[in-house]
Structure 1
Amino acid sequence: MKFTEGMWCLREGVNIEWMSNVERLRVQQETVDLLLNKFQRHRGDTLNSPTISAKVTSPLDGIIGVKLVHWAGNVDNGPHYAIDQETGHATITQNQDTKKLTYASGPLSLDINSNPNELDFVFHSESSKKLTGHSFRSIGYVRDARSAKYDTADGIYAEKQGYMLVELDLGVGEKVYGLGERFGPLVKNGQTVDIWNEDGGTSSELAYKNIPFYISSKGYGVFVNHPGKVSLEVQSERTTRVNISVSGEELEYFVIFGTSPKDVLRRYTTLTGKPALVPAWSYNLWLTTSFTTNYDEQTVTGFLDGFKERDIPLGVFHFDCFWMKSYQWCDFDFDDEMFPDAAGYLKRLKDRGLRISVWINPYVGQASPLFEEGKKNGYFIKRTDDSVWQWDFWQAGMAVVDFTNPAACTWYTNHLERLMDMGVDSFKTDFAERIPVKGIKYHDNSDPARMHNYYALLYNRIVYNALNARVGTNQGLLFARSAAPGGQQFPVHWGGDCESTFEAMAESLRGGLSLMLSGYIFWASDIGGFEGTPPPALYKRWVQFGLLSSHSRLHGSSSFRVPWIYGEDCSDVLRDCVKRKILLTPYILQEALRGHREGVPLMRALFLEFPQDLNTYAVDTQYMFGSNLMVAPVFSEEGEVTFYVPRVEDESQGTWVSWFDYSKTYEGGRWYTETHGFDTLPILVRPGTVTITNPLLKAPEDAALEGIQLLVNGRLDGKVSVEIVNPGQTGEVLKTIQVSPAADGKSVEVEGQETEVIYLHK
């Protein structure tokens, strides 16, 4: 939110009390408490003006938190994000002569200047390089008369809307990324971002998954620990700062240091929750009924037969909304007119070797038999007069399940378990963004404004836990649209409603990369686009891209996404892409396990992998698929694509090599323009790497040890460990293969498993 008009003026009705002085401070164990006030000329300046209490802490090594409080008398009904915390790693040094204090947490330090009227915070690395901080007029309390609650008739008691405001410095050339799933430019500089979940599709500034965490090209990240609306002006109000404001009386943020962007993500996901793993079968192709299409058992069976006849692998079949009767969403019952023997039909699908997913949401339409039950037992969000909160914007008279009520959670879970008993393996947890905030109350009296974003976390956690309780840790998964900080613990997430255009395909990639710079490691898009019917060229290009995403689902709105309706050549492209992804399963499982351990996503913005190459920081039309493969999707009907090949640190390791033609090499640090038919796209193998594949696999969950191949590109820089992950338990390593450069400098030696070695380029 903008409060100023340039450097000197405030907007009409706005007053900001800037903190300029440390009135007093106290050090207690690993905590520093400060009382901040305005510029002090004499003792009279302590009257008739606010103070801000600041508390400096360190929850984990390399992370420093600052909590700022104006008024401490508010009732705190939550909710709060779960934060991992340890003690014993922070040190505090005071210099009484200079009136400066240094708070150190491992490689990160905060210098605080407590000289009179010289308030200054500087975060720096162990090399004393400044990362960010608070300079002149950057911590303040805002009173805004542009609020409905402000009434001049109240005289001196008239209440203005209060905001906490902090402004963090940006350096020259510094770039900001993340803040959840955002479909605009990957670089956030110059943007205004509100952390507020909305169902807005992929073509606007609104987003389903808003995460108040950004990562800087300068070697740090910032997490704002606030579940309500957080407004950020990223060089869009002050051109040298990120301005962060929240409504109310307190704000807490954490500065997170990293020796690399990956290291920042490692620390951030340690703070907010490590990403969970998913079962191997989920990496196969998913097919859905699409949204408003007309389908019944015969239609679905025809689709499945078509895939089998064309030898296109298929792992998961998904039933979208209309598996239930209209106006009754969500009652968890198959429409008996379309599926008269639902339990029997699910069994027949399972006998084909398919996994089953069904669409759900956290709402109950008034026509549903469950509505009266939920109303009677208090399972829904209520208005302040104890009536059920309802509206017609989606399902007629729908109510919203109150997941702060343990009985409602049990009720909801029981219905999920009933579906799992029928054979359902996964749930598409749609919606949870349109959550009311005015005139309502929760069972546990949570603050409605703070629950708006947090609700998605509750919803996905409840469904995810129900699945894991049935199948075991890391064996359940969702297909979720909404999220909040910590949601990486309940995968998978997909990018929401996109149009069937090349532009929407590109914005979907930007949204995914942005989310995966926010602690998430798995992501998918609606292949072919959701709204509209894709032309064949777009369908095939999105298939190429979608099958090089962590998860791959064919889904549309009013038209089916089976390939042959777009032409049999589309079936050929889909077959090739699915089979390529399946042979990459050992590599995908290995990279996912590393992501689980370190918070590094499967699909990576280039700078995450090559922070030393400054040219990578603005690229948002290509990505790394794991550590070894670079992918440049084709975003044009003509097949022309321009892409950048990153510069590796040790150029003696060799050159990048085309996945499709090992004789085709690429030099790092250069741009290339190529034209591709529908049988290829730029997939480049990184020099100095070993990529594990298995062309014998028919499905991702097949036995892992037989048929392993190692693709070696260039000279290895020492020993490389390749982990063979158990597809039956994706958190378990079956074997570790050690690959070392041989004495001849051209070949490798392999220990731990007999495998075929393929040299791409020596």
Structure 2
Amino acid sequence: MEEQIITIAPLNGERWWGGLTALGNQMPYASNTKEYDLERQNENNQIVPLLISSKGRYVYGEHPFRFCFRNDTLLLHSNFEKLSVIQGGENLREAYLAASTKHFPASGKTPEELFFSKPQYNTWIELMYNQNQADIEAYAQQVLSNGFPTGIFMIDDNWQNHYGNFDFKAAKFPDPKGMVERLHSIGFKIMLWVSPYVTADSPEARFLEEKGYLIKERGKDTPAILRWWNGSSACFDLTNPAAFEYLKQQLYDTQKKYGVDGFKFDAGDVMYMCGDNLEFFNPSANAAVFSQKWAEMGLYFPYNEYRTSFKMGGQPLVQRLGDKPYSWDAVSWLIPDMIAAGLLGHAYTCPDMIGGGAYSTFLNIDKDSFDQELIVRSCQIHAFMPMMQFSVAPWRILDQKHLEICQKFARFHETMGAYFWETAKKSSQTGEPMVRHMEYMYPGQGFLNCKDQFMIGDKYMVAPMVTKGTSRVVKLPSGKWRDDQGKIYKGGRTISIQVPIERLPYFECIK
């Protein structure tokens, strides 16, 4: 199709969200931005061909497009379809609901309740590529001995013999089925890291090549070798229905063999799939279609997690924010990025790992110089989100005071689990985000650029610390609000509050 170029002039005071979850901290978008290409860029997180505005308008594509802003004018480029702006209502919420109802309606299904009622623990930062049975069982026991709740336990990359193989390494896991049984017996559900990649020089790759189940080099009858963050590999061609079914059955067999509950579906990033040398089984497929098919695999496994996908709004998939650095900037990005995920249709999203997913930060820790306040504030933000995930072990990096605070908020998240679960079930019917922008809930009250407060459902407003310090300003919407200390406030005004390290400020709407 000939390239379509669409120019959308701004309305007075209009601002836009959407496209890439990872850009949430830049939303609403500035008057001038660089161009983003949803077919080739995902910035380590989810992408959806959707843009929505504070004035009730939206743009939706069935295919990836390019977009940028020039002096508040939205410029769109599509090689697949003619795009247009649609007036869905008068404000951000009405625009989102109009778009979601028409283009990605709520499925009526949720992920498993445990995602919302208990914390998650991921072995990546503690073990990196040295996943092994002894250390995994020790980590799980340390969760209990340090007074943290049990929950979902994710065994990360390099548990398997190689990519495309789904058996545990015998040298590292002498009794994997017994390990899973023991972890189950102390209260954990178990998920395994998987990707669509296949180690090129392996028996599995040769078998899959013979079956025609791998992405090929264009014009050749040989598998393409894709470069990704952990080397160069062949890749399942999930646009081939037979390859899709084969991989799904392999995962089912893995569940049956070892007793695991589900999978962390990593990779699938369009940035690794957009080479012009790739040839998919489906001749009309591209990187975005591949990413969507990889996400569809998760629909067969109620215990699932994704860091990247294309479209898939309204579906019972657990999404997670991409790995962020250990920094106060990254802490301040958690709220706007979570809001962006929700506005792209991903209601069931987990923030990044507590403290960030940059494993190098947590090597050779000196507790005397390490900023423990950052870990605690990150943990507090997670505690009032739909999900929270630990990876670095808090008991390894924190002194007793800060460890006890993190344990307290892990337990707090558990006590809020019933509310999170009820909100998740409502989202499965309405399609609304669980984590909501203040402008979404209270349009026209001065919250357009608010990035340090959020609503979860329609009952609680959360105003955590996202910078170093022990005080902050909170802007209250109209209505009557009761804070976490029982104090009642009349809304429609700004207040200054003290936030000692032990406190997570939140406000319940009581009128």
> TM-score over 0.5 for the alignment?
yes
Once the two structures are TM-superposed, the CA of residue 686 in structure 1 deviates from its matched residue by 1.3
Counterpart Cα distance in 1 of 2:496 and 2:40 = 38
The question of 1:373 aligning with 2:373 is answered no
Return the letter of the residue paired with 1:605.
Answer: H
Change (3 A) 1:678 1:214: same
Once the two structures are TM-superposed, the CA of residue 251 in structure 1 deviates from its matched residue by 1.8
Once the two structures are TM-superposed, the CA of residue 446 in structure 1 deviates from its matched residue by 2.1
Counterpart Cα distance in 2 of 1:617 and 1:382 = 47
The question of 1:491 aligning with 2:317 is answered yes
Counterpart of 1:634 in structure 2 is 465
Change (3 A) 1:350 1:498: same
Counterpart of 1:608 in structure 2 is 440
Once the two structures are TM-superposed, the CA of residue 289 in structure 1 deviates from its matched residue by 1.0
Once the two structures are TM-superposed, the CA of residue 197 in structure 1 deviates from its matched residue by 6.0
Return the letter of the residue paired with 1:526.
Answer: M
The question of 1:282 aligning with 2:115 is answered yes
SS of the residue 1:336 aligns to: coil
Counterpart of 2:367 in structure 1 is none
Once the two structures are TM-superposed, the CA of residue 441 in structure 1 deviates from its matched residue by 1.5
Counterpart of 2:245 in structure 1 is 410
Once the two structures are TM-superposed, the CA of residue 360 in structure 1 deviates from its matched residue by 0.9
SS of the residue 2:8 aligns to: strand
Q: What do residues 120-172 of structure 1 show as CA deviations (whole Å, max 9, x unaligned)?
A: xxxxxxxxxxxxxxxxxxxxxxxxxxxxxxxxxxxxxxxxxx52111122111
Contact 2:55/2:89, CA 8 A, preserved across alignment: no
Write out aligned runs for 1:555-570 (5 A). 555=391, 560-570=392-402
Change (3 A) 1:195 1:597: farther
Once the two structures are TM-superposed, the CA of residue 254 in structure 1 deviates from its matched residue by 5.7
Counterpart of 2:299 in structure 1 is 464
SS of the residue 2:55 aligns to: coil
Contact 1:272/1:485, CA 8 A, preserved across alignment: no
Counterpart of 2:45 in structure 1 is 208
Contact 1:657/1:685, CA 8 A, preserved across alignment: yes
Write out aligned runs for 1:247-396 (5 A). 247=79, 250-253=81-84, 255-258=86-89, 260-275=91-106, 276-283=109-116, 284-291=118-125, 292=128, 294-325=130-161, 328-383=162-217, 384-396=219-231
Q: What do residues 366-395 of structure 1 show as CA deviations (whole Å, max 9, x unaligned)?
A: 244321111111111101212110044444
Change (3 A) 1:612 1:517: same
Once the two structures are TM-superposed, the CA of residue 564 in structure 1 deviates from its matched residue by 4.4
Return the letter of the residue paired with 1:587.
Answer: Y
User: What's the TM-score once normalised by structure 1's chain length?
Assistant: 0.61
SS of the residue 1:551 aligns to: coil
Once the two structures are TM-superposed, the CA of residue 293 in structure 1 deviates from its matched residue by 5.7
Q: What do residues 531-566 of structure 1 show as CA deviations (whole Å, max 9, x unaligned)?
A: 1237311111111111211111112xxxx3343432
The question of 1:535 aligning with 2:371 is answered yes
Counterpart of 1:399 in structure 2 is 234
Contact 2:471/2:500, CA 8 A, preserved across alignment: no
Structure 2: state its 5+ residue gaps.
363-369
Return the index of the structure with the highest Cα Rg. Answer: 1
Return the letter of the residue paired with 2:373.
Answer: A
Counterpart Cα distance in 1 of 2:459 and 2:316 = 26
Pick the aligned partner of 2:3 from 148, 163, 166: 163
Once the two structures are TM-superposed, the CA of residue 294 in structure 1 deviates from its matched residue by 3.5
Return the letter of the residue paired with 1:528.
Answer: G
Once the two structures are TM-superposed, the CA of residue 183 in structure 1 deviates from its matched residue by 4.0
Once the two structures are TM-superposed, the CA of residue 265 in structure 1 deviates from its matched residue by 2.5
Counterpart Cα distance in 1 of 2:84 and 2:407 = 48
Pick the aligned partner of 1:680 from 479, 503, 506: 503
**Residue range with higher mean Cα deviation, 525-534 or 562-571:** 562-571
Counterpart of 1:719 in structure 2 is none
Return the letter of the residue paired with 2:489.
Answer: Y
**Count of aligned residue pairs for this structure pair:** 490
Counterpart of 1:759 in structure 2 is none
Structure 1: state its 5+ residue gaps.
1-73, 75-161, 201-205, 468-475, 649-654, 689-762
Counterpart of 1:224 in structure 2 is 61
Q: What do residues 407-451 of structure 1 show as CA deviations (whole Å, max 9, x unaligned)?
A: 21121111110222122222111111111330221112124xxx2
The question of 1:526 aligning with 2:353 is answered yes
Change (3 A) 1:429 1:339: same
Contact 1:528/1:543, CA 8 A, preserved across alignment: yes
SS of the residue 2:356 aligns to: coil
Counterpart of 2:425 in structure 1 is 593
The question of 1:571 aligning with 2:400 is answered no
Change (3 A) 1:259 1:187: closer
Pick the aligned partner of 2:483 from 655, 658, 676: 658
Higher helix fraction: Structure 1 or Structure 2? 2
Change (3 A) 1:389 1:293: closer
Higher relative contact order, chain-length normalized (CA < 8 Å, sep 6+):
2
Pick the aligned partner of 1:512 from 315, 338, 347: 338
Counterpart of 2:284 in structure 1 is 446
Once the two structures are TM-superposed, the CA of residue 620 in structure 1 deviates from its matched residue by 1.2
RMSD: 2.2
Contact 1:521/1:599, CA 8 A, preserved across alignment: yes
Higher strand fraction: Structure 1 or Structure 2? 1
SS of the residue 2:305 aligns to: coil
Return the letter of the residue paired with 2:490.
Answer: E
Return the letter of the residue paired with 1:279.
Answer: E
Contact 2:24/2:339, CA 8 A, preserved across alignment: no
Counterpart of 1:546 in structure 2 is 382
Write out aligned runs for 1:111-122 (5 A). none
Counterpart Cα distance in 1 of 2:68 and 2:129 = 42
Counterpart Cα distance in 2 of 1:365 and 1:509 = 37
**Residue range with higher mean Cα deviation, 291-300 or 588-597:** 291-300
Q: What do residues 603-631 of structure 1 show as CA deviations (whole Å, max 9, x unaligned)?
A: 11101111141x11110121111111111
Q: What do residues 501-527 of structure 1 show as CA deviations (whole Å, max 9, x unaligned)?
A: 110121232222112112221211211
Contact 1:197/1:208, CA 8 A, preserved across alignment: no
Once the two structures are TM-superposed, the CA of residue 349 in structure 1 deviates from its matched residue by 0.9
Counterpart Cα distance in 1 of 2:396 and 2:17 = 39
SS of the residue 2:418 aligns to: helix
Pick the aligned partner of 1:189 from 16, 30, 36: 30
Once the two structures are TM-superposed, the CA of residue 636 in structure 1 deviates from its matched residue by 2.5
Counterpart Cα distance in 2 of 1:478 and 1:253 = 34
The question of 1:580 aligning with 2:412 is answered yes
Return the letter of the residue paired with 1:656.
Answer: W
Change (3 A) 1:572 1:315: same
Change (3 A) 1:594 1:185: same
SS of the residue 1:179 aligns to: strand
Change (3 A) 1:269 1:573: same
Once the two structures are TM-superposed, the CA of residue 324 in structure 1 deviates from its matched residue by 2.0
Counterpart Cα distance in 2 of 1:240 and 1:183 = 17
Contact 2:140/2:183, CA 8 A, preserved across alignment: no
Contact 1:290/1:561, CA 8 A, preserved across alignment: no
Identity %: 20
Contact 2:199/2:233, CA 8 A, preserved across alignment: yes
Counterpart Cα distance in 2 of 1:193 and 1:167 = 14
Q: What do residues 539-597 of structure 1 show as CA deviations (whole Å, max 9, x unaligned)?
A: 11111111211111112xxxx33434322223312222122222222221221122112
SS of the residue 1:335 aligns to: coil
Counterpart Cα distance in 2 of 1:324 and 1:391 = 20
Return the letter of the residue paired with 2:398.
Answer: Y
